[in-house]
A = this chain, B = another copy of it.
Amino acid sequence: MAEIPLDEAMRTLRAVRRLRPDPIPDAVLRRVLDAACQAPTGGNRQPFRIVVVRDHAKLARLATLYAEEWRSYVALHRKMTEGAPEAAREADRRMLASGDHLADHFGELPALLVFCFDPRQMAITDAELDRISVVGGASIYPAVQNALLACRAEGLGCVLTTLLCRREAEVRALLGIPQPWGTAAAIPIGYPAGRGHGPIQRRPPEELAYADAWKTPWRVHDAD
């Protein structure tokens, strides 16, 4: 894999939605897939599979499903962000424009990575709680993140999408995914058509971490 320091990879991993149709060499794609395979999973069972979709007819069908879901998302999103401050709305407009581009060109992607999972191979410790479950994701999304970081290292644009999960029955039929396997994410990848990866905006630990109790801000106290 192209050598990149871990820290730089994490700090410059953007959601890149403007992707060129140019093919990705198998050796490059293998390094991305291999990075996913290195991730931790419960009991090291690796209860995921990655369907690499490059077939044009299948991508065209997925593009139709994706575009339908994208349009619904945009309508809902516009309603939810109506009163947002101007700065946030500007960032939003850029996201929506690049999202439109992805939806319009989904069928021309050089590869789409569909992450599937087998709930039978997972100990889902929040399955019985009185809230929506997320813990199955602990054996899938670390692999997804490794794949995204590897894309960053390889100069491949990528973005974590989950909209196609709404159309899981159709995706399953198209790719032959058997029950009870589910789909957890679809990662469009390709060489960037625009700026590609680069610096990102994130809230820091001082806003997102607490010390021993909720709402007690975590702070650096010592001097090293």
Contacts and interface: CB of A to CB of B under 8 A. Distances in A.
Contact of A119 (B6, B9, B132): B132
A153 B208 contact: no
Q: This chain: how many copies in the complex?
A: 2
A101 B221 CA distance: 30
A78 interface: no
A69 B176 CA distance: 37
A49 to B, nearest CB: 6
A49 B209 contact: yes
A46 B15 CA distance: 14
Interface string A174-214: 01111010111100000000000000111111001111111
Interface string A112-154: 0000010100011111110111111110111011101110110
The 3 closest A-B pairs by CB, nearest first: A137-B137, A141-B141, A33-B205
